[in-house]
Structure 1
Amino acid sequence: MVDRLNHSGWTGTAAGHAQARIQFLGTELQSAKQELDLVSKALAKAAEQFAQAQAHLVYALDDAKTAKLNVAPDGTITWDKEPTSANYAGAGAETTAIAISNRITAALNEAAHADQEISARLNHFASNASNGTGLDAATIAKDLAAQTGREQVPPAGTDPAGVKKWWDGLTDTEQQKFIQDHPDQIGNLDGVPAIARDKANRINLQRGKQDLQRQFDGLGPEPKKYLNVADTNGGPVENPDYTVWKKKHDDLEDKLKGVKSIEARLIAKVDDDHPPTFLLGFDTNGHGHAIIAANNPDTADNVSTYVPGTGARVGGSLHSDIERSDLMVAAANKANKKAGDPSTTSSITWVGYDAPQSIIPEAADDKYAKNAEDKLHRFENGLHATHQGKIANNTILAHSYGTTTVGYTMRDKGLPVDNVVLIASPGAGVEHAKDLGIDPSRVYAAQSEGDSIGWADAADPKGMAKNIRDYYAEIWGVGSYYTGVDANGVHVGGIDTDNHMIHGRQTTVPEFGAHILPTNPKGDHSDYWNDDSPTLPAMGEVIAGKPVS
């Protein structure tokens, strides 16, 4: 009709009104068509969800029949307990009955969720139809956007609170479909609950392992290491093909080692030393990334994130970093038990950033810390978005260069944590604990006298000269003396121990203002988690929210 009018040659006031009205009606009809398409999709999705719930129920009932269990219409399960009877269900009938009852309940809950979802959506469309908004282009645009949201994963970098809202708006079936179809996105998306991320990342882990193994097997035989020529000094010349092959070989071998470490922890028997494990992130990009939680951070009362430093990757010492989370959970549990507190604890090993892989020159560069800021900030906010209720005590704990990463993030982005623990820090990018954006009394630091991190002196000439002066002042007993700090913050008496590291003021000097944790004086850079270390129980007390003894 619009085309007919436009080509009719009819002009004038009446023609103008008629054409405007017909065009308006065309727009309304197009909106109505789009709205009805959405109704159709909603009904089709509901039918699929009901069919899946029904299938789950039927499978449970079939298994019950096979196990000689009787399921009543109200879901009650009974069985023949007489061993001499032909219908005897066996000694393990009760355990089987409980498992099948749980499956029946899950199927019914699945159907109820689908019913609530389709009811809500149809009520929305019916309301649009009755009040006329269903013919409005702006309303249709919102409905189409909502539908798109149900079909697409939010892009990486989306605010975790928005991701959680999106996830909660999906049905169980839709959530499972996203996990199966897009595990790489769901598994690494902050704002998705821990259980779902774990399911997705276990898929990612196996796919990543297969891909790494395929690349490793495809490397071919090791090329000849040296060419049949000599350099200007008469020495051997390394074959470029060997150099490339060796680099790829070692990288793939290292990552496969890391994957095996993760696998071993995921399948370890759960006991006091090995809490349930959740894989919250995994990929093999670059040096690889992995986020592993000991206990579910969405349900634990106290949640701690551990950020390792130089060398952190999928491979290397990843197994040791994972063990440290287990040790910190155990230490927190001991602190809680001592206080008669039944609170639970989750400790997360966060290798979610590209850490420096060498002390010189990479660990001297702060670009790794700067590049990690958004990732760490988003992850910590994601923990709060997915936690069931408020986290009672939230701690960020870091070691070595990890403290630089944490310090930079707290300084530039802020982190929603109650405590920060800086272990063996080469500097956190700030001059004072208060610059981290939380109460300085909740900032803790530790550095053993025997820790080689003490060699990470300041790179700027002024700081380096100050360190050298203080070093010799301490050895010879001369220099600037002080007995404390006066009201104006000026040192009076004694030797000035203020010291600057490569990435800022040393976190254990009085001028930094942190609460100092006890250490083993002879301990080296990685000994803070050893059995004889007084730092480990102190870390546990901080994580558990208990006074440090």
Structure 2
Amino acid sequence: MRRLTRTRIAGVRRARGRIARTVVAAVLTASAVAGTAGWVSGAGQRPVTGPPVGTAAWRAAGLPDPERMTPDQIAQYFEGLGLRRQQELVRSHPDVVGNLDGAPVAVRYAANARTAGARFAGRQVLAYDPRGRGQAVLVYGDLGTARNVAVVVPGSDVDAGNLASLTRKATALRGAAGARTAVVAWAGYTTPVGVGLDAAGGELAEAGADRLARFTDGLRAVGAASPALFCHSYGSVVCGLAAPRLAARDLVAIASPGMRADTAADLGTTARVWAAKDPTDWIDLVPAVEFAGLGHGADPAGPGFGARPVPAADARGHDGYFAPGTASLRAFAAIADGAAR
């Protein structure tokens, strides 16, 4: 009996030790990165959710509730309106029309030109939400005629006022993939600021996953090609959580801290899953664990995950995967235009 008791005590101690190591590793998801990057955010971000700005006035006018309509239903609603009525809605309710996934692309551009034209002069703005730090979705190319569509999903520190890194990636991909591919810069969710507990947690990614899934449903509803999603850093957490609901052809995890899945099969998607990680990327220091809401799980670029590898040896650092001339950008272009196998 004494020996059995000692055995049980030893087992409990070992279990406690494993749990403690896991907790420490999960916390290091934030602290190791912060130490490498040299900065960390202490301010928590609240995700922007719910219907577009101006929805109360839209409902009061007797128009159908956006929260009760799928993108397919929104597409059908606009198909039943004449061009004159569509233009009337653009003038009277631009905040709503510009953010309705499933509404005609040209109608959304016209609405967002009214609400965000001064901020994004000359650009094709598919969505603009001024709430919080602001969200914006920009399009390069013609979604209606493009043979292929690529969507770039960013990680931390991207919002309507800080789009430079995202638009560089999107325009580089568009240039490499060619005119047959339209590229979407999707800053359509509340991203973490800096590298801290928001980046180590999943709350922002969960809210972003809902918005991303609805966005891809909206692309399908207007007849756009099934997209390839290029999910960078924390954006790959968003894509991982959204994966079972995404209307996507390809899913590319780039510099990923994890996708909240143990394997590619666990993502529950019919899309082809790819992964790229440069050996000089500091993301490699982030422990591949998930515990008590911290950390994002297995490394998608690891051999056991099951993703198709993307060459990235000549990329540099955490943000160099879309640099012109790199093997990773060439591979991304081949995935975007459907040529990769």
What band does the TM-score fall into relative to the shorter chain?
A: 0.7 to 0.9
Q: Matched residues in 2 for 1:461 and 1:430: separation?
A: 13
CA distance, structure 1, for counterparts of residue 173 and residue 315 of structure 2 = 21
Matched, 1:426 2:257: yes
Q: Indicate the SS of the match to 2:247.
A: coil
Task: Tell me which of 174, 187, 209 is aligned to 1:329.
Answer: 174
Note if 1:546 corresponds to 2:339. Answer: yes
Alpha-carbon offset, residue 443 of structure 1: 0.9
Amino acid at match of 1:433: A
Q: CA deviation at 1:461?
A: 7.5
Match of 1:195 among 106, 111, 121: 106
Per the alignment, residue 445 of structure 1 pairs with 275
Query: Aligned match of 1:508 in 291, 297, 301?
Result: 301
Deviation at 1:439, TM superposition (A): 4.5
Answer yes or no: is 1:394 the counterpart of 2:227.
yes
Equivalent residue runs for 1:12-161 within 5 Å: 152-156=63-67, 158-161=69-72
AA in 1 matched with 2:263 = H
User: Where does the alignment leave 5 or more consecutive residues of structure 1 unmatched?
Assistant: 1-147, 210-258, 267-276, 334-342, 463-500
**SS across alignment from 1:519:** coil
Identity %: 30
* TM-score normalised to structure 1 length: 0.49
| C-alpha deviation, 1:358, in angstroms | 1.9
More displaced stretch, 287-296 vs 321-330: 321-330
Of 449-458 and 399-408, deviating more is 449-458
Q: 1:278-317 maps to which residues of 2 (within 5 A)?
A: 278-316=124-162
Q: 1:149 to 1:460 in 2, by over 3 A?
A: closer
Q: Which residue of 2 aligns with 1:370?
A: 206
CA offsets 1:328-379 (integer angstroms, 9 cap, x no match): 122112xxxxxxxxx7211101111111112112201110111122211111
* Aligned 8 A contact 1:195 1:278 in 2: no
* Rg larger in structure: 1
Which position in structure 2 is the counterpart of 1:403? 236
SS at match of 2:125: strand
1:226-375 correspondence to structure 2 within 5 Å = 259=119, 262-263=120-121, 266=122, 277-316=123-162, 318-333=163-178, 344-375=180-211
For residues 537 and 430 of structure 1, do their structure 2 counterparts lie closer, same or farther at Cα, with a shift above 3 Å needed?
same
Change (3 A) 1:280 1:410: same
In the TM superposition, residue 283 of structure 1 has moved relative to its aligned partner by 2.0
Q: Which SS does the other structure have where 1:167 is aligned?
A: helix
In the TM superposition, residue 153 of structure 1 has moved relative to its aligned partner by 4.9
What amino acid sits opposite 2:209 in the alignment? E
Output one character per residue of 1:72-114: Cα deviation in whole Å (capped at 9) or x when no partner: xxxxxxxxxxxxxxxxxxxxxxxxxxxxxxxxxxxxxxxxxxx
With CA pairs under 8 Å and 6+ residues apart, which has the higher RCO, 1 or 2? 2
Letter in 2 for 1:326: T
- TM-score, normalised relative to structure 2: 0.77
Asked if 2 retains the 8 angstrom alpha-carbon contact of 1:518 and 1:535, the reply is yes
2:77 corresponds in structure 1 to 166
* CA distance in structure 1 between the aligned counterparts of 2:231 and 2:68, rounded to whole angstroms: 23
Secondary structure of the corresponding residue to residue 306 of structure 2: coil
Verify: 1:518 aligned to 2:311, yes or no.
Answer: yes
Q: Which has the higher helix share?
A: 1
Is the 1:154–1:163 contact (alpha carbons within 8 Å) kept by the matching residues of 2? no
Deviation at 1:150, TM superposition (A): 9.7
